[in-house]
Structure 1
Amino acid sequence: MSFSDLLPDSTAVITGGASGIGLAAARRLLQRGLRVCIADRDAARLAAAEASLRQAAPRPEVMTAEVDVSRPEALLTLEEQVRARFGGTDLLMNNAGIQPGSALFGPAERWAEVIGVNLWGVIHGTQAFAPGMVARGRPGLIINTGSKQGITTPPGDPAYNVSKAGVKAFSEALAHELRQDPACRITAHLLIPGFVFTPLTAQGRAVKPDAAWTPEQTVDFMLPRLEAGDFYILCPDNDVPRELDEMRILWAAGDVVENRPALSRWHPDHAAAFQAFVQQGRGRS
C-alpha cells in the first residue's frame, strides 16, 4: 500500500500531533486533502497546534483530542470519537513519544513512564484502531515512529532504547500479521528519524543545531518513502548520511554474529575495529 492509494475522503489520526514530527505530518496531510485528528496530552499545545493547522489548507477539517496514549481506554475512546466524526480512520501515525532520560538502576517510575508512552502507546493505538481499519476494507497505513536508538542501542538512555527497540519488533510483527490476510488493505511502516529538532530533543536550546533536520524535512522525506511502499523509513540528517547509519546498524548486528562484547562499538578493545569498518564501508560507496 502506498500513500497515493488512500481514498480522497481519508482521515489521519496522529498521536503526539501537537508538536514536532506529528504536527509537521498533520500539516502536510491537510495540505494533501486528508482530514486530520491530532491527539496529545498537552491541552495548551493542542490548542496552539489546532490554530496553526487551520491555516494549513483552504478548508481544513481538523479534530483535536487530549489523550494519554499510555492508557488503553483513552485510545479506544479516541477511535470511537474519530469514527463518530469522520466515519473511521485510514492513516494512523503512532508518534507520541517522550525522552526524559533514564539510568539503568534509576527509578522504576521513570521506566514505566517512558515505556508506557513510547511502547505501550504504539501497542494501544494499534490495537484500538487497526481492527476497524482492516474491517472497513479501504486502503490505509499505520506508521509507527521508532528511533535509531532502538536499533543500535547506544549507552546512556536504556529506558528509551528498550521502548524503541520494542516499537521496531512490534511494527515488524504488525507488518507480517497484516500481510497474512489477502483481503487486508492496510500496511505497516516504521519511521526511523535521524536527529530532528523538536521539543523532545531541544534540551533548552532555542535555535536548531546545524546537525539537525527540521520536523518538516523529516516528513518530506517520509512521504515519498511511503509512496514507494517502504517499511523501514531510515532518515538521514545534516550530520549522519545513510551510509554511516548502515555501517552502524551492520556493526550492531555483527556483535551477535561475531560474538563480540555487547555494544562493542563503545568497547575500548573494539573501538578501532569499528572505525576501520566504517572507513571500509565509505571506501566502497
Structure 2
Amino acid sequence: MNAEITEIAALAPGRTAVITGGASGIGLAAARRFCAAGMNVVIADLEGTALDAAATAVSQAAGGADRVLAVACDVARPGDLVALADAAYARFGDVSFLMNNAGVGANPGKPWQNLDAWKALIDVNLWGVVHGVQAFAERMLAQAMPAIIVNTGSKQGITTPPGNLAYNVSKSALKTYTEGLAHALRNEPGAAVSAHLLIPGFTFTGMSGGTTTKAPGAWTGEQVVDFMLQSLARGDFYILCPDNETDRRTDERRMAWAVGDIIENRPALSRWHPDYGGAFAEFLKG
C-alpha cells in the first residue's frame, strides 16, 4: 500500500470510493489504485463494454470482485447520480471518497454555433459534477467521518486558451464551483468532508484525440493519481499537476499572466494577441 494512501483517513482499507468516468483514463487509474489499497470501489460510467471491462480488470487486479461495483450512469441526468448514491450505500454502507471525474471534450465550435452541443458538453463537465455533489454530499456529511470530494478540472479552465471555448467555460465554472464547495464544507458545523480541485496537465486518456499512442509529453493516468494522492496527503486544495512538457513554474507564469489581463487592462486573452506576444515571452522568462 502506498504511503500517500495510508496517510489519508478517507482512503483507509474497507472504506469506499465512487468514481465517475471510471472506465478509462484517470478514473480507471484511480479505481485500480484504491481497490489495490483495500478500498471498496464503485466505478460509474456510461453503459457499455468499457464499463464492464473496467470492473473486470479492477476486480482481477485486486483479487476482490466483492469489493468492486460497476454502475451505468450518465452524469448529465441528476436521477442517475441519485441512483448511483443509492447503489453505493446499499452495497457498502459508506462513501468516503467521491471523484467527480466524468468529462467530455468534443468541440461545439464558435460561441454562436451549435447550441445543443454546447449544452451537452456543459451538462457533463459542469452539471455532472453538481449532480454528483447534490447526490452524495449530505450523506457523506451525515457519516461524521473523514471524507473527500475531488472534482476533475483543467488548466484550460484557468488560462482559457483559444481552441475549445465551451470546454474552457465548463472547466472555468467548475473551478469556481469547487472553490465555493470547499468554503461551504469548511464552514459546515462538524463537517469532516473536504473538497479539492484536480487540475491535470497533458494526460493520455480516452479524451486524447482518439489516439492509442501516448505522446512523450503526456503523463499517464497513474502519474496523475500518484500526484493527486501526494497532494491530498498535504491537504492541498489546488492539485496542479505538471507533465513531461510543462513544469509548475511555467504553469504559474501562464496563470499569472492570465490574471494580469484584468489588472493591466490588456485585451482579453492577450497571451495570444499579436501585440503582446513578445511581452508574454519576456514575462515567461522572468
**1:105 alignment partner in structure 2:** 112
Residue 156 (structure 2) pairs with residue 156 (structure 1): no
Alpha-carbon offset, residue 43 of structure 1: 1.6
**2:34 alignment partner in structure 1:** 29
Letter aligned with residue 4 of structure 1? I
TM-score by length of 2: 0.95
**1:45 alignment partner in structure 2:** 50
Instruction: Summarize deviations over 1:158-189 as a string: whole Å, max 9, x none.
Output: 11000000110010000000000241000000
**1:223 alignment partner in structure 2:** 229
Find runs of 4+ consecutive structure 1 residues off by over 4 angstroms.
none
**Structure 1: which 5+ residue stretches go unaligned?**
281-285
Q: CA separation in 2, counterparts of 1:243 and 1:229? A: 21
Q: Kindly, what percent of the aligned residue pairs are identical?
A: 53
**1:259 alignment partner in structure 2:** 265
**2:277 alignment partner in structure 1:** 271
Q: CA separation in 2, counterparts of 1:164 and 1:224? A: 23
Alpha-carbon offset, residue 107 of structure 1: 0.5
Alpha-carbon offset, residue 5 of structure 1: 1.6
8 Å Cα contact 2:13/2:37 also seen in 1:
no
Residue 123 (structure 2) pairs with residue 123 (structure 1): no
**2:238 alignment partner in structure 1:** 232
**1:5 alignment partner in structure 2:** 9
Alpha-carbon offset, residue 9 of structure 1: 2.2
Q: CA separation in 1, counterparts of 2:49 and 2:173? A: 30
**1:57 alignment partner in structure 2:** 62
Letter aligned with residue 257 of structure 2? W
The residue matched to 1:213 in structure 2 has which SS? Answer: coil
**Structure 2: which 5+ residue stretches go unaligned?**
none
Q: CA separation in 2, counterparts of 1:207 and 1:42? A: 25
Instruction: Summarize deviations over 1:209-249 as a string: whole Å, max 9, x none.
Output: 11101111111111111111100000001001111000000
Letter aligned with residue 25 of structure 1? A
Q: CA separation in 2, counterparts of 1:105 and 1:210? A: 36
Q: CA separation in 1, counterparts of 2:179 and 2:220? A: 27
State the number of aligned residues.
Answer: 278
Letter aligned with residue 62 of structure 1? V
| Two-structure CA RMSD over aligned residues (Å) | 1.1
Instruction: Summarize deviations over 1:72-123 as a string: whole Å, max 9, x none.
Output: 1110111111111110311000000000112122211110110000000000
Q: Give runs of aligned pairs for residues 86-235 of structure 1, distance below 5 A.
A: 86-103=92-109, 104-201=111-208, 203-235=209-241
Instruction: Summarize deviations over 1:181-215 as a string: whole Å, max 9, x none.
Output: 241000000000000011111x2322111110111
The residue matched to 2:158 in structure 1 has which SS? Answer: helix
